[in-house]
Structure 1
Amino acid sequence: MRSPGSTVVVVVGGVTDAILRELGRLPNVQALRLTEDDSPSLRTVLGAANRPFLVHDLDPLAAVAAAWRGFFDDPSTIGVLRVEVESALTAFAAGESVLPDYYLVLDPEGISPAESQWWLGVLAAVAPSRVLPVEATTASVQRMLGALPTGRAWPDPAGWLRELHLQVPDRAGLL
C-alpha cells in the first residue's frame, strides 16, 4: 500500500488549511487534508503518492490517543483503550492504515497538555526522531521537511500500543 518513494508526514496540533494548501504548492510535496468527510481513503492516497513528501492530517492513532486520555480520566474505560488499540493494529495489519514516517506537532505550545503528553510524551518516547515539534507556519514546516532527522524506525506497534495503560500522563516518556 505504501508508496516507496514518498516520506509520509502527519501534521497534528495547530494544522490549518492555509498551511496544507501552501505546502501543496511545493513541487516536492503532496499535501492533503484527509480528515474531511469527502476525502479520499488513505489507501488510495498512499497508492497514488508520487512526490518525495506526502503530508496529511489523518492521524492513524487519533482514536487510540483519545482512549488513552479517557482512561486516565476514568480508569474504568480500560476496555475502550484496549478496543481502540486492537482496532488500530488490525488496520495496520490489513494495510488500511500506516504509521507515518514522521509526526510534525504544529504549535506545540498552543495544544492542550493532554495532547502534548500524547505526542511529545508517549509517541516521542517510542521513536524520538519521528515526532517533532514545529512552529505552525508554512515556512517552518517546509524547513523541517528539508531537515528531517534520521533515526530508528517505529518499533513494532503491537508491543508498545498494548502497553499504553502503563504510560501515565505527565510521566509519559520518562524513565
Structure 2
Amino acid sequence: MAHNADTAPRSTVVALVGADSDELLTGLADVPALVALSLREAEPAVAAHLVASVSMPYVVHDADPLEHVASAWVELYEERATLGSLEAEVGALLSLFASGEAVMPDYYVVAGPEAIEGTWRHWWLGALAHHAPSRVLPVEASGTALRARLRSLPASRPWPEPEAWLPRVHFDIPDRVGLRDQPGAA
C-alpha cells in the first residue's frame, strides 16, 4: 500500500463492521485515547485522509475499504454476479491502495457475527479471516463487549499486502476456505 510517512495512519486502525455499528461507534465517544468516526458514506480517499489525520493511539471507524470486493465475492458465490465483476472490484481497490486513497485497517471487529447470514458470514469469518486470522475479531454486538475487545487487541503478524491475496480471493470458497493444507481436509 502506497503510504509515505506523511499519509500513513499513525494510529491503530480498527474497522467496525456487522450489526449496530452506528450505535456501537456512538458508544465509544467517551473512551480515552480513541477516536470513533462514522465514515461509511465517505469516499475512500476522504476516509483514508481522515483516518491518517488522527493523532490518537486508536481510531475506530465503519468505512470498510473492502466493501465492494466483499459484495462482489458474496454475489459471485450466491450466483448473482460473475467472476469478472469480482475481478473488476479487486482491480479498482488495488489501484486505490497503490495510490494511498484507501487504507487497510489493522483490525476488523465483526459485531454480532451470529446475526450475519449466509455467504456474508463466510466472507467475514472465512475468506477475510483466512488471510490474517488474528486481525478479524468477532464480538458480541454490545458496547461492553466491544470495549473489552478493543482493550485486548491481539498482537499478531500484519495483513499480507493486498496485492498478494486479493487477486486470488475468488479461490476462497464458502464452506471450504481455510480447509486446504489441514490434516483430514477433503
**Equivalent in the alignment of 2:154:** 149
> Identity of counterpart residues, as a percentage?
43
Q: How does 1:15-54 map to 2 (within 5 A)?
A: 15-36=20-41, 41-54=46-59
Query: Which moves more between the two structures, 69-78 or 14-23?
Result: 69-78
Normalised to the residue count of structure 2, the TM-score between the two structures is: 0.87
CA distance in 2, matches of 1:78, 1:113: 19
Question: 2:36–2:59: 8 Å Cα contact kept in structure 1?
Answer: yes
CA distance in 2, matches of 1:130, 1:28: 20
Give the TM-score normalised by the residue count of structure 1.
Answer: 0.92
Q: Is the 8 A contact 1:24 1:32 kept in 2?
A: no
Q: Which amino acid aligns with 1:54?
A: V
Distance of aligned partners of 1:39 and 1:152 in 2 relative to their CA distance in 1, 3 Å threshold: closer
Mapped pair 1:109 → 2:114:
yes
Could you say if the C-alpha distance between residues 76 and 109 of structure 1 is closer, same or farther in structure 2, counting changes exceeding 3 Å? closer
Which residue identity lines up with residue 8 of structure 2 in the other structure? R
Deviation at 1:112, TM superposition (A): 1.3
Aligned length: 174
Could you tell me how far 1:43 is from its partner in structure 2? 2.7
Gaps of 5+ in 2: 1-6, 181-186
- Say if 1:3 and 1:166 are closer, same or farther in 2 by CA, change over 3 A: closer
Q: Which letter maps to 1:2?
A: A
- Structure 1 unaligned residues grouped into runs of 5+: none
TM-superposed CA distance for 1:38, in Å, is 9.4
Q: Report what 2:178 is aligned to.
A: 173
Deviation string 1:56-110 (CA, Å, 9 cap, x unpaired) is 0111101001111111233861111000001111111111111100000000101
Written as runs of structure 1 = structure 2, the 5 A alignment for 1:13-162 is 13-36=18-41, 41-74=46-79, 77-162=82-167
1:3 aligns with 2:9: yes
Alpha carbons of structure 1 residues 29 and 169: separation in structure 2 relative to 1, 3 Å: same
Corresponding residue of 2:169: 164
Which whole-Å CA distance do the structure 2 matches of 1:3 and 1:82 have between them? 27
Amino acid at match of 1:3: P
RMSD: 1.9
**8 Å contact from structure 1 (residues 7, 52) kept in 2:** yes
